[in-house]
Structure 1
Amino acid sequence: MWTRYDLKMNAKMAFKRNYWTCVAASLVVGVLSGSMFAGSGSGVQTTLEVQHNNPYAYDSYSAYSYNSSNSIFGGVIFSSIVIAILLVIALLASLYTIFVGNAVSVGGCRYFMENREHQTSASKVFYGFQNGRYGNVVKTMFFRDLFILLWTLLLIVPGIIKSYSYRLVPYILSENPHMDRKRALELSQQMMDGHKMEAFVLELSFFGWFLLSALTCGLVGIFYVNPYLDATFAEFYVAIRTESIGKGLVEEGELPGYSAQTV
């Protein structure tokens, strides 16, 4: 039986053994997948203000009406342009996540899984783009995100629960990138059955580190917290994987392991 302490101790050993490579891999994944900026954002505010008591705003009722109408019309046009720009940005960001970010996330999982067993290159983060893996990786991760979104549209809590149900999908794909997307989603749900709260608590145990990272403008995150977290969830996957194989949830050949040769 594993504990959070065991996972973190094993993660620290694997992380510190190849410190700079782990930092580089985690940084590349964080930047290219967008996960590093998940908590940040910017807003656009527009204000339409008509001052009825301004003597320069109108000389008569008709002049006031003309100015007011122009102001409202101009405000509507400006707001429409801003909304259109934001929609285009959101669309481009979504397309980037689908076709680039998700594949990089799978590659990041591959790197940290291999790093447990042997020294490997940070270029492994591009694993999902190579040797005919890309199409299935993109498709499977797209459906994972789509199902999470649909559940979230119903209610926030079911969406969060479903996100933990599908938490192992990128790890499964990093081990077997050719697995059918339905089977990958199904297997992740089966493996996470009874472990979703454990994953949540494990993530929550890093809250202090996240806070420290924020206070240092992300420096602690880049050089310690992010690779430490990635290495810890690699250990989490190993623990759940071992248990699932023991229960017979995994069919022979579905999860071939992380030897030096690639799938």
Structure 2
Amino acid sequence: MMWSRKKLKKQGKQALRKNWWRIIGISLMLAFIAGGMRISYRIDDAAVRLTGGEIGIPTNAQILNDWYLSIERSSDTESGQILAFLGEHYTPKKGVLAGVYNHMTKERSAFFGFLNAMNDFLFKDKIAEGFVILIGVILLILFLIFVSNVLSVGQCRFLLENRTYRQVKMGRLAFVWRARRWKNVMFIMLKKSVFLFLWDMTIIGGIIKRYSYRMIPFILAENPDIPHREAFLLSRQMMNGNKMRAFILDLSFLGWHILNIFTMDILRHAFITPYTETTSAELYVALREEAFEKGLDGVRFLDDERLYEESDLEEYPVESHRLYNPQVKKWIRIEYERTYSLRSLILIFFTFSFVGWLWEVSLHLFGDGVFVNRGFFHGPWLPIYGTGGILVVVLLKRFVHKPLVTFLMAVVVCGAVEYLSAWLLWEIKGMYWWNYTGYFLNLHGRICAEGLIVFGLGGCAFIYIAAPFFDEIYRRIPQKIARIICVVLLLLFAVDIVYSLIHPNSGAGITDYHVHAGEVLSLLCL
């Protein structure tokens, strides 16, 4: 039976309506983990031009074009002339590779420039930066292998159950770990990533193979025990003759993506991504049915019929699953209607603060190639994240059954925290630790619409996912040990507050922001 785009998209919308807010929350969380959502704290073109500056950073295409023209116009095409031209037209400022490039263009010799750069890197206090970057890359790769890839399979499990059952718990994201099959899933998803990386080195192989391997996460979501060879073979067989049709299916969402341009990317997170994900689940179900009709050998591994049978049950009967283990059934419970103890709130505060610090540090580490200890404090925490998270969890508890109201209130709470923090830091120390001047709908450069939207979505993620998740973990810590941990953390934080008030954390990448546009105009009017 041939599937049609219209039918799949209609079924995808129906599935989305069942658990819209949970699907959005899962999509946002996975996007955050994958690094898809970034908030840049750099001043954009508008702000720089307003202060009289110029943007002189060319694109890669412009660099290549200038390089080609330099060769074409010059009779001397030696490497020294080319490197000199590049050095005049493009000078990156940050990162290890920027240092190598600048040495090469300055020396007008790739060989001697590289040696000079390596000399700086190895013998002039540059090696620590390289180690930090290397360790960061290794940790990121390990996180993607052991967490991100496995979570994506859990997301597919959630989407498949959501088609049939009215209630699907967020805990389905941990399906692979609950079933104790994470090793096999991790290996298959790693193999898929490596294969795609290698195929990306060809002209169009990466695009084709992405469609060939597209069903692998859904196959694993149905049967995480399937051997790796059979998983790849079955996915290729299911997509055989369907790759172009699936490509056209993806292309049919183009209109939504064009419309998203006019919504400051809100539509993508609030509708387009969840819609495409539920439609992808419908595609898998349609191809699964075709596989059974064709009698493909690998269909013997697709044995979870309860995912597709009509049922009056509210949620999937986990007790009937062949991998059900009563010892791990309640390994984690993500129920957002709960009362938090003071110990949990303290630990969650420091957890959110540390995650926020880790996130901002990683943006600079992988974006600029340099380690920057972000924030006013010296310790590994950004209290603005912890404060906003705790306030949202405590103050908005009464609105949890109204997700839209929760989102709007989270925008107000988090916006107030960010604005007051920026104002207070300026009044106390006369410095900016962030600046949104030039951003769309910004208020004195301290908050902006873009950031508030992300904070609102993040606040919902705190209430519905993150806070219950960590609370469940922290409840398992013996009370005496939990008290000791809280006291130690609070003491360290108090010491950091006192020291930072005297010697605030500042410097390149931390407080080197221009003054607000409004203050610039005021100065010009004097």
TM-score range (shorter-chain normalised) is 0.7 to 0.9
Counterpart contact for 2:230–2:298, Cα < 8 Å: no
TM-score (normalizing by structure 2) = 0.42
Match status 1:149 vs 2:150: no
- Give the drift of 1:29: 2.8
**How much is the aligned-residue C-alpha RMSD, in angstroms?**
3.2
Q: Does structure 1 retain, via aligned residues, the 8 Å contact 2:12–2:275?
A: yes
Query: Which moved further from structure 2: 193-202 or 166-175?
Result: 193-202
**What is the distance in 2 between the residues matched to 1:161 and 1:251?**
21
1:22 aligns with 2:69: no
CA displacement at 1:128 relative to structure 2: 2.0
| Matched letter for residue 28 of structure 1 | M
* Kept in 2: contact 1:25–1:108 (CA 8 A): yes
Q: Evaluate the alpha carbon distance shift between residue 125 and residue 213 of structure 1 in structure 2; reply closer, same or farther with a 3 A threshold.
A: farther
Output aligned runs, 1:206-217, within 5 Å. 206-217=253-264
Alignment of 1:144-183 (within 5 A): 144-153=192-201, 155-183=202-230
Letter in 2 for 1:188: S
Per the TM alignment, residue 193 of structure 1 is displaced from its structure 2 partner at its CA by 0.7
Equivalent-residue separation in structure 2 for 1:148 and 1:74 (angstroms): 33
3-state SS, counterpart of residue 195 of structure 2: helix
Q: Is the 8 A contact 2:291 2:299 kept in 1?
A: no
* Alignment counterpart, residue 201 of structure 1, candidates 224, 243, 248: 248
Equivalent-residue separation in structure 1 for 2:121 and 2:299 (angstroms): 59
- Please tell me whether the aligned partners of residues 238 and 287 of structure 2 are also in contact (alpha carbons under 8 angstroms): yes
The question of whether the paired residues in 2 share the 8 Å contact of 1:25 and 1:123 is answered with: no
Cα distance in structure 2, aligned partners of 1:212 and 1:96: 34
More helix, by proportion: 1
Higher mean displacement: 183-192 or 195-204: 195-204
**Cα deviation code 1:89-132 (max 9, x no counterpart):** 43332221111111010001111111000121122122122221
- Matches of 2:173 and 2:187, distance apart in 1: 18
Q: Deviations over 1:186-216 (max 9, x none)?
A: 1111111111112222122223323444543
How far apart in 1 are the matches of 2:198 and 2:165? 39
Deviations 1:17-62 (A, max 9, x none): 2222222222223333x17349x9x99563748xx9xxxxxxxxxx
- Cα distance between partner residues in 2 of 1:4 and 1:35: 30
| Distance across 1 between alignment mates of 2:178 and 2:264 | 34
How far apart in 1 are the matches of 2:231 and 2:244?
Answer: 21
Q: Which moved more, 1:219-228 or 1:3-12?
A: 219-228
Contact 1:168 1:188 in 2 (8 A): yes
Match of 1:128 in 2: 176
Distance 1:35 1:228, change over 3 A: farther
**Matched position secondary structure for 2:301:** coil
Would the aligned equivalents of 2:184 and 2:225 in 1 still touch at CA under 8 Å? yes
> Kindly tell me: are residues 203 and 88 of structure 1, through their superposed partners in 2, closer, same or farther at Cα, counting changes over 3 Å?
farther
Q: Which amino acid aligns with 2:142?
A: L
Letter of the structure 1 residue corresponding to residue 197 of structure 2: L
Query: CA–CA distance in 2 between the matches of 1:15 and 1:35?
Result: 24
- 1:21-60 equivalences under 5 Å are 21-32=22-33, 34=34, 36-37=36-37, 44=94, 46=98, 48=102
CA distance in 2, matches of 1:157, 1:35: 25
Q: 214-223 or 183-192: which moved more?
A: 214-223
Distance in 2, Cα, partners of 1:86 & 1:212: 38
**Which structure has more RCO (C-alpha within 8 Å, separation ≥ 6)?**
1
Aligned length: 241
Greater CA radius of gyration, 1 or 2?
2
Q: State whether residues 292 and 299 of structure 2, in contact with CA within 8 Å, keep that contact through their aligned partners in structure 1.
A: no
Contact kept in structure 2, 1:133 and 1:177, CA below 8 Å? yes
- Aligned position for 1:218: 265
Q: Give 5+ residue unaligned stretches, structure 2.
A: 43-91, 107-111, 308-315, 324-526
Which residue of 2 is the match for residue 137 of structure 1? Answer: 185
